[in-house]
Amino acid sequence: DVKVTQSSRYLVKRTGEKVFLECVQDMDHENMFWYRQDPGLGLRLIYFSYDVKMKEKGDIPEGYSVSREKKERFSLILESASTNQTSMYLCARGQGDSPLHFGNGTRLTVT
């Protein structure tokens, strides 16, 4: 059974804090993705990584950065959290044309 594990299900952070969202996959897939999901806006791609230390901006990268030091782990970083980053964050992994497998999401609230 495929596993994409996000370290936290719920997070509450204060404005200005540095926030790390962690994601680990159990397959040897190169591609990993971070999406955010907001009501009425669907899933929007923040960043993706196609290999260790390789990253590409998605559609909404502003205010975020990522880190991929090992193939199985892909971290999303909010350098200085803001209230408009309150959202559901979904990590996914995929390989080529294969479907994306998502984690269960991290619901982040920034107060």
Partner 1 sequence: GQSLEQPSEVTAVEGAIVQINCTYQTSGFYGLSWYQQHDGGAPTFLSYNGLDGLEETGRFSSFLSRSDSYGYLLLQELQMKDSASYFCAVRTGANNLFFGTGTRLTVIP
- Should residue 103 be labelled a site residue for partner 1 when binding is judged by CB under 8 A? yes
- Should residue 42 be labelled a site residue for partner 1 when binding is judged by CB under 8 A? yes
Among 65, 80, 104, 109, the residue binding partner 1 under the rule CB under 8 A is: 104
Q: How many CA atoms lie within 13 A of 101 on its CB side?
A: 19
3-state secondary structure of 84: helix
Among 58, 61, 71, 73, the residue binding partner 1 under the rule CB under 8 A is: 58
Minimum CB separation of residue 94 from partner 1 in Å reads: 8
Among 105, 106, 108, 110, the residue binding partner 1 under the rule CB under 8 A is: 105
User: Encoding tokens for residue 14?
Assistant: 């204060």
- Should residue 20 be labelled a site residue for partner 1 when binding is judged by CB under 8 A? no
- Give one DSSP letter per residue of 58-79, joined into a string: -S--TTEEEEEEETTEEEEEES
User: Encoding tokens for residue 11?
Assistant: 């997070």
